[in-house]
Structure 1
Amino acid sequence: MLKATLTATVLSLTMASFAGAQDYTLRLSHGDNESNPTHLTAVKFQELVDEYTDGRVAVQIFPSNALGTETEVAQALRMGSIEAEILYTGNLVPLAPSAGVLMLPYAYTTTEQAHTAMDELIDPLNERLVPEAGVRALGLLEKGFRVLTTNQPVETLDSLQGLKIRVSPNDIAIKTFQAWGIEPLPMDWAEVFPALQQGVIDGQENPYTTAISSRFYEVQSDITEIHYMMWTGPLLISERVFQSYPEDIQEAVARAGREAVEYGRQVSGELTEEAKAELVERGMTLHGAPQDEEKWAEAAEALWPEFYSQIGGEEWATQAIKIINSSAQ
């Protein structure tokens, strides 16, 4: 009896040790608060990974840049010292220029087209992200088009003239607004609200949900729904980490990533509609698209060849644009 008990105990310990060897921890970093679609996407990913791996992979979420800035974490992913991240595409471009195709102004003008294009782009994009930055995109999240908030109606390109607009400090955004006849002001994010409050700038561009979370309704009165650029952000995993997983874990994590991003897109759409309603309740006027938006689009699209060298070269840009254009059909 004692021998049988000892044998069972040894067997149990051996099995526990073997099971423990199959466990993985995946730390997921992002820069937003816990009410943001980014975080809700991360939570869904956490749930799905646990389900699809039967608990063999534990996802730990670190919101609000707790592990470092988006660019710092993306660099850590290359080495595998952090496992995963959701970040704004613009902050990935310095490390992986090919991701810049997602930021071409007026590449897509509807949410449906953008989803189709991003899903078609992800495989060829990953062929470039892996050698460029040592990362793999499991899915591409979007949080809506970057709309224009101001303190006066902007219903035509002419009414934009003379305004001081803050843009993200990236070349594509800067040159696009320059093509529209104004000199935009690139500015760090932390400076934007006080700059609006003090009248240093007249407006800024970001998704509707940002106008709520950043309380822009306190310092802005009007919104113009331009469709020049969508906020996109890949759910990334370190390629070094991904390749260290057995094949069944790779498949489970990849499936969880795809489905989490689909969920995040749905949540983002719902929150965008809620944000629109709340902004109206708080006194802002939503003007819809500019009356002459075709002029905005024509001026922006004429710039595309200038950006090819920054987004992976003309051959890749041409391939990506062909995929994007086919998504509109």
Structure 2
Amino acid sequence: MLKKTLVASALCLMMAPAAFAQDYTIRLSHGDNESNPTHLTAVKFQELVKEYTEGKAEVQIFPSNSLGTETEVAQALRMGSIEAEILYTGNLVPLAPSAGVLMLPYAYTSTEQAHKAMDALIDPLNERLTKEAGVRALGLMEKGFRVLTTNKPVTTLEDLKGLKIRVSPNDIAIKTFRAWGIEPLPMDWAEVFPALQQRVIDGQENPYTTAISSRFFEVQSDITEIHYMMWTGPLLISERAFQKYPEDIQQALLRAGREAVDYGRQVSAELTEQSKAELVKNDMTLHGAPKDEEKWEAAAAALWPEFYDQIGGEEWATQAIEIIKATEK
């Protein structure tokens, strides 16, 4: 009996390394709550990774920045101490400037074109992301255009004059609003709602879904559907971790990433339409696009050369813009 037990134990020890070699844990961090399209995308990725690796890889999801801020986690991905993350493109740019091409104002003006452009950009972009930040994008998700909420109707560029508008603290957003004739107010996110409530600012820009989740309908009356910038966010994996996986696991992750992002885009579109209906029920007026949006677009697009040095250099910016424009055909 003892001999059989010893033999069984020895067999277990011999088999353990092989079994362990097939098990991969992928920790995925993001900054949103569990009702957000970001989290729903993460859950779909989790399901697909399990399916496509036949259970060899497991994705553990950490929502609401529980592993650290988006920038902190992106730095951890470079070292391979955390394996995956979904984050706002603007928070990746400090580590990977080339990702900034996704934020060029009016680079794309419809959701359909944006999807085509992002899918066409991902491979050349990854050639740069892996070098700049040690990360690889498995897919590029979006949560809609950043629309303008205000406390008065804005249907033309002239209506914007004199308003105090909060923007995220990045140079592209700041300079774009300056080109439209106002001095925007960069402000930390936590300060935005009380600033709107106290009329320190007159408006802000974010997707429709944010207007619902942040209850902006309580302190704002109008929405203008400008198309200057889409909320984009890559589903990233640490390149250091990725290169340690065998070929079959790598291919499974690439496939799962693409399909999860496609799912997330669909969910985002559905939630955007739901948000619009709910905002109307809460007495907000949705004005659609500005009557003179071509003026907004022309003023913003004229700024592109000013941003080239910030988004990976003129050569890359020119290449990326050509790729984007080719998707308009």
TM-score between the two structures when normalised by the length of structure 1: 0.97
The Cα of 1:11 is off from its aligned counterpart by 3.9
Q: Determine the C-alpha separation between the residues in 1 that align with 2:30 and 2:11.
A: 42
Deviation string for 1:22-58 (max 9, x for gaps)? 2111110000000000000000000111111111111
The residue aligned with 1:127 is 127
Equivalent pairs, count: 329
The Cα of 1:282 is off from its aligned counterpart by 0.7
Q: How does 1:294-305 map to 2 (within 5 A)?
A: 294-305=294-305
Q: Determine the C-alpha separation between the residues in 1 that align with 2:167 and 2:17.
A: 53
Deviation string for 1:273-316 (max 9, x for gaps)? 00000000111000000000000000000000000000000000
The Cα of 1:192 is off from its aligned counterpart by 0.2
The residue aligned with 1:276 is 276
**2:58 corresponds to 1:58:** yes
Deviation string for 1:177-209 (max 9, x for gaps)? 000000000000000000000000000000000
The Cα of 1:10 is off from its aligned counterpart by 4.4
- Which residue identity lines up with residue 272 of structure 2 in the other structure? T
The Cα of 1:105 is off from its aligned counterpart by 0.1
Deviation string for 1:73-121 (max 9, x for gaps)? 0011100111110000000000000000000000000000000000000
- Which residue identity lines up with residue 68 of structure 2 in the other structure? G
The residue aligned with 1:177 is 177
The residue aligned with 1:138 is 138
The residue aligned with 1:325 is 325
SS in 1 for 2:82: coil
Q: Determine the C-alpha separation between the residues in 1 that align with 2:158 and 2:2.
A: 91
SS in 1 for 2:243: helix
Unmatched runs of 5 consecutive residues or more in structure 1: none
Q: Determine the C-alpha separation between the residues in 2 that align with 1:2 and 1:82.
A: 44
User: Please, which moves more after superposition, 18-27 or 234-243?
Assistant: 18-27
The Cα of 1:254 is off from its aligned counterpart by 1.0
Q: How does 1:87-98 map to 2 (within 5 A)?
A: 87-98=87-98
**2:226 corresponds to 1:226:** yes
Q: How does 1:188-207 map to 2 (within 5 A)?
A: 188-207=188-207
Q: Determine the C-alpha separation between the residues in 1 that align with 2:113 and 2:63.
A: 29
Q: Determine the C-alpha separation between the residues in 2 that align with 1:307 and 1:159.
A: 27
Q: How does 1:1-329 map to 2 (within 5 A)?
A: 10-11=10-11, 14-329=14-329
User: Please, which moves more after superposition, 186-195 or 55-64?
Assistant: 55-64
% identical equivalent positions: 84
Q: Determine the C-alpha separation between the residues in 1 that align with 2:9 and 2:88.
A: 51
The Cα of 1:257 is off from its aligned counterpart by 0.6
- Which residue identity lines up with residue 271 of structure 1 in the other structure? L
TM-score between the two structures when normalised by the length of structure 2: 0.97
Deviation string for 1:156-191 (max 9, x for gaps)? 000000000000000000000000000000000000
- Which residue identity lines up with residue 205 of structure 1 in the other structure? E
- Which residue identity lines up with residue 126 of structure 1 in the other structure? N
- Which residue identity lines up with residue 228 of structure 1 in the other structure? Y
Q: Determine the C-alpha separation between the residues in 2 that align with 1:2 and 1:85.
A: 49
Q: Determine the C-alpha separation between the residues in 2 that align with 1:254 and 1:11.
A: 35
The Cα of 1:14 is off from its aligned counterpart by 3.2
SS in 2 for 1:144: strand
SS in 1 for 2:294: helix
Q: Determine the C-alpha separation between the residues in 1 that align with 2:78 and 2:132.
A: 9
Q: Determine the C-alpha separation between the residues in 2 that align with 1:71 and 1:12.
A: 42
Q: Which contiguous aligned blocks of 4+ residues in structure 1 show a shift greater than 6 angstroms?
A: 1-6
CA gap of 1:67–1:5, structure 2 versus 1, over 3 A, is closer
Q: Determine the C-alpha separation between the residues in 2 that align with 1:79 and 1:20.
A: 22
SS in 2 for 1:325: helix
Q: Determine the C-alpha separation between the residues in 2 that align with 1:117 and 1:176.
A: 21
Q: Determine the C-alpha separation between the residues in 1 that align with 2:20 and 2:76.
A: 26
Q: Determine the C-alpha separation between the residues in 2 that align with 1:103 and 1:285.
A: 27
Q: Determine the C-alpha separation between the residues in 2 that align with 1:110 and 1:14.
A: 57
The Cα of 1:4 is off from its aligned counterpart by 7.6
